[in-house]
Structure 1
Amino acid sequence: MTEKRDYRDTVFLPKTDFPMKAGLPQKEPGILARWEEQDLYRQLRDSRAGREKFILHDGPPYANGDIHIGHALNKVLKDAVVRTQTLLGKDAPYVPGWDCHGLPIEWKIEEAYRKKKRNKDEVPATEFRQECRDYAARWVDVQREQFKRLGVSGDWDNPYLTMAPEAEAGIVAELLKFAETGQLYRGAKPVMWSPVEKTALAEAEVEYEDIVSTQIDVAFEIVECPNVPELIGAHTVIWTTTPWTIPVNQALAYGESVLYGLVEATNVEALAGKRFLIARQLVSEFNKRLDDQFGQTVLLKGIDVGGAIDGALLRGTICRHPMHHLGGFFAEPRPMLPGDFVTTESGTGLVHMAPDHGEDDFDLCKANGLGPKFVVDDDGRYREDWLWLPRTDERSGSVINPKFNAPPNDEGTGGPICEDLKAAGALLSASADYQHSYPHSWRSKAKVIFRCTPQWFVPMDEPISPFDFDVAHLGGIGGAVALAVDASHTRTLRETAMAEIAQTRFVPPKGKNRIGSMVEGRPDWVLSRQRAWGVPITLFVNRETGEYLVDKAVNTRIVEAVKAGGVDAWCEENAQALLGNDYNLDDYEMITDILDVWFDSGSTHAFVLESERWPDLQSPADLYLEGSDQHRGWFQSSLLESCATRGRAPYKQVLTHGFTMAADGRKMSKSLGNTVDPLKVMEEYGADIIRLWALSVDFTEDHRIGPEILKGVADQYRKLRNTFRYMLGALGGFTDAEKVDVAQMPELEQYVLALLGELDGKLRQAVEDYDFNAYTRALVDFMNEDLSAFFFDIRKDRLYCDAPDGLERRAYRTVLDTLFHALIRYAAPVLVFTAEEVWSTRYPDADSVHLLEWPEIPSVDADEAVWAAVRRLRERVTEAIEPLRREKTIRSGLEAEVVVPENAVPAGFSSDDLAELFITGTVTVGQGDSVSVTKSSDAKCGRCWRLLPEVTEDGDLCGRCTDVVARLDAAS
């Protein structure tokens, strides 16, 4: 028997040095180092110089601690935006920044002081601030390297820092624009206050958690009632969950349209002889609380006073405070005032008013000549001189301490408020079981209080005086910026902001309503904080008039001083020099409050986008991109700052993403042990896996991550990598001389080019929509389903076995080349490291893949309906073959003889065409509706392994292979 020849050396198998195993954790740092050595970011700027700009302005992360998975998602999304816009040929610079001032950093330094038993107040302010600055600088450097490790491209050597002197000067300059246009006022209003951190908080610095509070019903005796004299001697009843506010009560509020009734208890000795005024709708709820208080059914009987008492009849009614016997403040009359905020949803339909501790309270009392008393100190305790609760008393605990507000018990060990109300006979019910949502500081996690303090505000509803927004005299940080804005601008800040929201594109669209409702209902903007680490409110206030000084020359000196010396320049030693010769420091108070850090970050558009330090940038930005919580944070503070100083929004578009949850949908928490550390993920999988995850999820909603999810992403990555690996091997030695015109190509190649054109359109639209989930999904599906599982699978026979100069093989490789150049560009914004590795493998001497632009795709028409029918039939054939393969009747589809129904075969496809497309031995068109498969009895070609009638014996060659081998033998 003659030994059969081994034809393996005549088959053109793909060859490449590109490894199947990625080893991303080891490779990526080297690629990153090469980009830095090449200064790739600057190369990009040079290559796009003069092109249409696209500016994504970076919302500054806080310089405090390692990055978390939310940071990673945010930066990858920003990077994908910048890279896709760059790929489209635009000049899309990216300047990263950091938020460096504020309480969290100050708190960390104070913690270190406490461990060393140092008193912050005994440390010079400049020394303390320098420690804060050093702390922030260290974390900026740490986070910078972590963001770079994610493959985020940007001007990392020249970021913006809110603590840089020129930035601090820019923030001061923006503040002084508010001052010069009369958009600041100093007032006393209740603000959210953290007794732990001893400072006012912005809404964005507060989170809400469920707590259990003491709820009480308190009786205020009516002493005057001109419209309903029968009420004199009765008691109005108020319900509250903040017992500690009762001592500073100054009035009671009623609803003018509420119907009230008078009731008395008939079977409880402690309540004998007392009549109570309650909203008629809420009597039964009040009754239940009395039942619980007295441990029995309390029978309430209505008292006839000529029918229901209309709320409007309570005008002019006067009550007295339960603690009136203490005299002084407590003996003052407590008027009943109409309040449009009074409802009958809960409580008693009557509300006690403490202007020190509530916004509605403050406004109503102020309108009636009643002002706050400022009796609670910054640590949440009553003032030492407050006659009712001296600090030496056991009652001197914090007003937010549950024990301080605890209801009394038989042992008399309840909280002082409730105990004293009980002793006065005014406490009708008290129970520590009321569960509700309550604001907490998101930093210290401590409960906050509403506390009236003198603060600096920006009014939301005062008309902005006409001005031209000229900032020339306050430039100082890179030159004057002339802004063309209507000089007749007289809208209020709220109106301006709402108009700009209407003009801004929000992605997803629901963001427009979210921020709109917040701006529409927000109170005046509180700018001041009572801390040390931040940008000072650089104002001089006349001691006699209370007016702040507005002088452009003084303001210019202040800005220049801060630019030269940072915030330390605002100090008493420099005060007279800043005022100049025209003013005497003795006549002025130098404000020591600092600015809300949201004003810092809200001003970044001014000192970054408009600065000569970053000439590649421009204002307004094309896009702001942050988490959805920034509708009440950075998006809003930036909007208000820009509208107040420029009459417009600082952005054209706003994109928001949701929050990353654990795999089970729960919020991530270190205590639950369900956090995912992006640094560890990069150590195990590599940055490209994080990027593929971030750009695959629907980031506009809350989304998930976990070990199993990451394994799935890694598997998806492996498939994409192997697709590129196959293409690299299949294109080995390809040159332009081998290319085939589209018109000469087989229909399958033309169809695949048509699919590529469709993909190109989908990806362009996804970029326009910032829909990276759709972008990545379309790319992955095309590479996996249209290429690997279909086109590549069918054409591997042509690639391996056709003659190198065969038209079909050349056409296939021509399309592979077109696909390669398109797909490597499409993938580059997603898999930044892998795309570079793939590109440099094929073109080792070429520039970076990230310098390339969006591919030009040939326009090819194909009858996609016909090809869709072919692919459906192919799936049916594959399904019919699979049982025989599982049973090992056949080992591959090449051994199958297939009969397909005639009605399923599109016109124009021969049996040989179908056999090639289905990768089977033979295909016969028959009658019926089903696909049938039998094992072929033909012999197998020793080179291409196809079973064909023309092969007489296993191992012999078919006609095609005979010709190719003969030519190869002759050539060798």
Structure 2
Amino acid sequence: MSDTKTDTAAPDYRDTVFLPETDFPMRAGLPQREPEWLARWERLGIYDRLRREKGRSPFILHDGPPYANGNLHIGHALNKVLKDFITRSQQMMGRDARYVPGWDCHGLPIEWKIEEQYRLKQKNKDDVDIVEFRQECRKFAEGWVETQREEFKRLGVTGKWDDPYLTMNYHAEAVIAAEFMKLLMNGSLYQGSKPVMWSPVEKTALAEAEVEYHDHTSHTIWVRFPVETSQGIFATKKPASVVIWTTTPWTIPQNRAVAYHPEIAYGLYELGEVAENATAKAGELIVVADALAEAVMKAAKVESFTRLADVTAADMEGLVLSHPFRGVEGGNGEWDYDVPLLPGDHVTDDAGTGFVHTAPSHGDDDYQLGLKFGLPMTYNVEPDGSYRPDLPLFGGQAIITPEGGEGPANVSVLKQLAWSGGLLAKGKIKHSYPHSWRSKAPLIYRNTPQWFAAIDKVLGDGMDEYGTTIRSRALTSIDKLVRWTPQTGRNRLFSMIEHRPDWVLSRQRAWGVPLTVFVRKGAKPDAEDFLLRDQRVNDRIIAAFEKDGADAWYAEDFKARMLEGVAAPEDYVQVMDVLDVWFDSGSTHAFVIRDRADGSPDGIADLYLEGTDQHRGWFHSSMLQACATRGRAPYRGVLTHGFTLDEKGMKMSKSLGNTVSPADVIKEYGADILRLWVAQSDYTADLRIGKEILKGTADSYRRLRNTLRFVLGNLDGFTEAERVEPKDMPELEQWVLHRLAQLDQQLRKGYDAYDFQGVFQTLFQFATTDLSAFYFDIRKDALYCDAPSGLERRSVRTVLDILFQRLVTWLAPILPFTMEDVWLSRFPGEDDSVHLHDFPVTPAAWLNEPLAQKWDAIRRARRVVTAALELKRADKVIGSSLEAAPVIHVEDAPVLAALQSVDFATVCITSDLVLTGDPAPNEAFRLAEVPGVGVVFETAEGEKCQRCWKILPDVGEHKHPGTCARCDEALSLR
């Protein structure tokens, strides 16, 4: 440092420095302030104002309807925020992005709640008029729709909140019925008696989408089926038994066959010694698969055994067995029938015995085998999961209790098998078992008459472009018509639809859209005249539902009015089942996208967005329903997100106390922090959230807010008169414009690809690294100290204005509250909002790759200098980088030329520096990752300018005391 003393008499120049000025607060105060912006947006009618803009192509994100029966959880917030990112970004990229929120209002959960209220009042649902009961369900749903609507709006989600769609609206119910009647008319609807997933607790059939799997402990039994006929190997041996294994003992009374696989190796085994408490008998003969023999013997406590012979497919073909309850005392001949041994492709030797007990009324494989070989169906199980009262030995016993527990049926069957000699062995197994996702109670397969959509029937409806059946249209749509985000969604849905059975449409409940169909009395379901197919009747039903809703179906004279002049009402039965609610939500494309004025011209949504569970739910049912009624998928794109977990990756549960409520997050941090958590996460996988994660999110928000506050503060008073054309700007400003042109392309692609994590990280890195840590750091000096008329300062302010327009709009889809705050801090118009603006057009001419490469080299060299100075600062050799004037040795001639072509001292924020191509001395500071650059520390010569704090030789030689030439000029121009 120079020994020259600073002029202590120099004036205080602090008031002459152009420090940032802004009312934009450092502390966001989001929880308190966000409701003000919500009210403002509602007052301005922003969503409707955007719809009035002409010439934009529509973008329809169709809302998968949440169920109207409870407060929002964090998964709801994730879902709606992702949707909002998309609608806002698509709008700001020039589309007419329409979003109509909706609710699923029918179905069992609501009905169950009303029944609970009845039980508390000791009231019987069956004693209440069905329309009165349905009205109570409607009121319950209406209440939760209002609650959830406000909770969704608080998240900052834009949409047509004053006119959402509800599946219980009269028009919606009319369209759902109309869509159902299209199945009636195209021949895909049929009534079949077949096993379906049945909830004894809820007393209704369930679809696959309503089933979840949990660990469950079941009884396992190995049961003898005595061989009745003498043929093949059995003609020369003493009596033998074919052994089956099952985890559902209660299905044994419904057995009608035993299945084997012709290609499995089977053996005839003679039992030797058995344990004292075994139910197996020494000397008896059994037939099992060779691969499973050891396991069977162990389960039966058989200590020694001998394999006597092969049992071939020829030995088993046409073999007849007897039911283990045949001739049992008290059986009243119920089971005195032959049990055929039949070949079945579904049989394996992976577990069990290699033989499968077959009850056609209680399993899909069993049912299919029964269809193939004409096996009789049984009707032994009542809707409440109990045996029919007159079933011998077991009448009235429950399989599943009304509370969802195990009834006595399994144990009773097991005991009866032991008593009658049919039980070879018993045990227990913990395995994955189907449960209702609503009541959480175990399910059973139960044979019951239900209504189905045949997904492999050739429809002949003229909509054959993508296939002639529901399944073929769906599979073609999945591959040819839909964009999948992520692509794995395609594989999941394709596999599910490729292998699924016919769609069970009927439910035995009250709150829903009825199956609007009449059947002829006495006609068999496969008879040509079983179903009344008449478009006049269909049109009357639709008109009645439009006027009075689906409650009209339950009017006493409804059948007579509908059939008047078409058919004799006394000849027909009115079906009283209700539709699967997945058919309701699957039909929403018709009454929302097709019918509404704010729908899509072609009735097809650009995007459906839900969690991964909706491959078996809404994505699935919508696909099937639309392929049945319009011949193709109702959507062009499907996006799926993962589930929310706690910070440790555990599933959230109230019992574990690890749930995170959106309302609690908003109360503590504000909705923008919750939205930022979504943007920072990879939604294609499961997402973690918790206190520490939210703290990290809030820190990212704070850093971003500080960047924007810097921009605002340094734009104070900016006018068009200051603007500098890009071609006249210094290189550093042109480099920023180049980066903005790059970002514009990247961000538009990112938003279009729904890559919000990538969009935010790109913007965040730009704001914190390129701007705050580099560009702003360098240009603070020009902003604060240059004369207002100076080209450099005007260029910086012009760039800040350009940055403002882009950063605020680019971030608005993610942080709508904060960006509104930033926008209004600069443009406080009563009628304006950042959300009324598009992303600015960014000229491609700003791209300058040679300049970018040059400045990449400059930034690398700068890193060496700043790292060297940081060491001196840490050692307290200097307090500020302006006290330094380092010598920088650069081996690479082009890099040296690049550094010499700019004011590298300003770039490094030093008062001076020396650039040289001489080899760096040994003591020079180097960075391994930036070879060829060495820095030798030297202190700056001169005095400290009392205005800009640079240390320069000319300080004190100018008109204004204690200033450098630049500051003296700036003060002279004031």
TM class, shorter-length: over 0.9
Q: Distance between the aligned counterparts of 2:598 and 2:779, measured in 1? A: 51
Q: Indicate the residue corresponding to 2:418 in structure 1.
A: 422
Percent sequence identity is 51
1:509 and 2:487 aligned = yes
1:328 positional shift: 2.4
Choose which of 67, 74, 78 in structure 1 pairs with 2:79: 74
Letter paired with 2:295: E
1:311 positional shift: 2.7
Inter-CA distance 84–395: structure 2 relative to 1 (3 Å threshold): closer
Q: Indicate the residue corresponding to 1:26 in structure 2.
A: 32
Secondary structure of the residue that 2:595 maps to in structure 1? coil
1:946 and 2:950 aligned = yes
Q: Distance between the aligned counterparts of 2:659 and 2:887, measured in 1? A: 55
Secondary structure of the residue that 1:583 maps to in structure 2? coil
1:491 and 2:491 aligned = no
Q: Distance between the aligned counterparts of 2:401 and 2:200, measured in 1? A: 12
Deviation per CA, 1:280-323: give whole Å up to 9, x if none.
111111122123xxxxx61111113xxx2223431110111111
Secondary structure of the residue that 2:473 maps to in structure 1? helix
Secondary structure of the residue that 2:321 maps to in structure 1? strand
Q: Distance between the aligned counterparts of 1:898 and 1:135, measured in 2? A: 75
Q: Indicate the residue corresponding to 1:464 in structure 2.
A: 459
- 1:874–1:917 Cα contact (<8 Å) kept: yes
Q: Indicate the residue corresponding to 1:289 in structure 2.
A: 299
1:574 positional shift: 1.4
1:258 and 2:264 aligned = yes
Letter paired with 1:264: E
Q: Indicate the residue corresponding to 1:767 in structure 2.
A: 751
Inter-CA distance 614–663: structure 2 relative to 1 (3 Å threshold): same
- 2:405–2:441 Cα contact (<8 Å) kept: no
Deviation per CA, 1:167-195: give whole Å up to 9, x if none.
00010000001101111000011111111
Q: Indicate the residue corresponding to 1:900 in structure 2.
A: 888
Secondary structure of the residue that 1:95 maps to in structure 2? coil
Secondary structure of the residue that 1:930 maps to in structure 2? strand
Q: Indicate the residue corresponding to 1:552 in structure 2.
A: 535
Secondary structure of the residue that 2:434 maps to in structure 1? strand
1:174 and 2:179 aligned = yes
Q: Indicate the residue corresponding to 2:445 in structure 1.
A: 450
Structure 1 portions without partners, runs of 5+:
292-296, 407-414, 469-484
Letter paired with 2:862: R
1:394 positional shift: 9.7
1:879 and 2:861 aligned = no
1:429 positional shift: 1.1
- 2:466–2:476 Cα contact (<8 Å) kept: no
Q: Distance between the aligned counterparts of 2:68 and 2:454, measured in 1? A: 30
Letter paired with 1:540: F
Range with bigger deviation, 338-347 or 309-318: 309-318
Secondary structure of the residue that 1:330 maps to in structure 2? coil
1:385 positional shift: 1.5
- 2:201–2:402 Cα contact (<8 Å) kept: no
1:431 positional shift: 1.3
Inter-CA distance 906–601: structure 2 relative to 1 (3 Å threshold): farther
Deviation per CA, 1:766-815: give whole Å up to 9, x if none.
12211111111111111111111111111000000000000000111111
Deviation per CA, 1:448-494: give whole Å up to 9, x if none.
111111100011111112x24xxxxxxxxxxxxxxxx45x8862211
1:933 positional shift: 2.7
1:931 and 2:921 aligned = no
Choose which of 812, 835, 840 in structure 1 pairs with 2:796: 812
Inter-CA distance 218–726: structure 2 relative to 1 (3 Å threshold): same
Q: Distance between the aligned counterparts of 2:305 and 2:435, measured in 1? A: 39
Secondary structure of the residue that 1:328 maps to in structure 2? coil
**1:505-654 correspondence runs (5 A):** 505-546=483-524, 547-571=530-554, 572-614=556-598, 618-654=602-638
Q: Distance between the aligned counterparts of 2:658 and 2:562, measured in 1? A: 54
Letter paired with 2:879: R
Letter paired with 2:660: V
Inter-CA distance 399–938: structure 2 relative to 1 (3 Å threshold): closer
1:510 positional shift: 1.1
1:897 positional shift: 2.8
1:340 and 2:345 aligned = yes
Choose which of 349, 360, 369 in structure 2 pairs with 1:364: 369
Deviation per CA, 1:598-649: give whole Å up to 9, x if none.
0000000011111145456651111111111111111111111111111111
Q: Distance between the aligned counterparts of 1:395 and 1:692, measured in 2? A: 50
Q: Distance between the aligned counterparts of 1:314 and 1:536, measured in 2? A: 48
Deviation per CA, 1:134-154: give whole Å up to 9, x if none.
010000001111111111111
- Please, what TM-score do these two structures have when normalized by structure 1? 0.93
Q: Distance between the aligned counterparts of 2:972 and 2:152, measured in 1? A: 58
- 1:696–1:776 Cα contact (<8 Å) kept: yes
Q: Indicate the residue corresponding to 1:473 in structure 2.
A: none
Choose which of 230, 234, 243 in structure 1 pairs with 2:240: 234
- 1:94–1:153 Cα contact (<8 Å) kept: yes
Q: Indicate the residue corresponding to 2:904 in structure 1.
A: 914
Q: Indicate the residue corresponding to 1:377 in structure 2.
A: 382
Secondary structure of the residue that 1:909 maps to in structure 2? helix
Q: Distance between the aligned counterparts of 1:788 and 1:53, measured in 2? A: 38
**1:309-320 correspondence runs (5 A):** 309-320=311-322
1:272 and 2:307 aligned = no
Q: Indicate the residue corresponding to 2:737 in structure 1.
A: 753
1:903 positional shift: 2.2
Q: Distance between the aligned counterparts of 2:502 and 2:395, measured in 1? A: 34
1:380 positional shift: 1.1
Q: Indicate the residue corresponding to 1:855 in structure 2.
A: 840
- 2:71–2:147 Cα contact (<8 Å) kept: yes
Q: Distance between the aligned counterparts of 2:227 and 2:238, measured in 1? A: 5
Q: Distance between the aligned counterparts of 1:205 and 1:2, measured in 2? A: 82
- 1:395–1:416 Cα contact (<8 Å) kept: no
Letter paired with 1:496: R
1:205 positional shift: 0.8
- 1:323–1:421 Cα contact (<8 Å) kept: yes
- 1:55–1:617 Cα contact (<8 Å) kept: no
Letter paired with 1:324: R
Deviation per CA, 1:494-553: give whole Å up to 9, x if none.
111111111111111111111000000000000000011101001100013241100010
Q: CA RMSD in A?
A: 1.9
Letter paired with 1:885: R
Question: Number of matched residues?
Answer: 931
- 1:912–1:923 Cα contact (<8 Å) kept: no
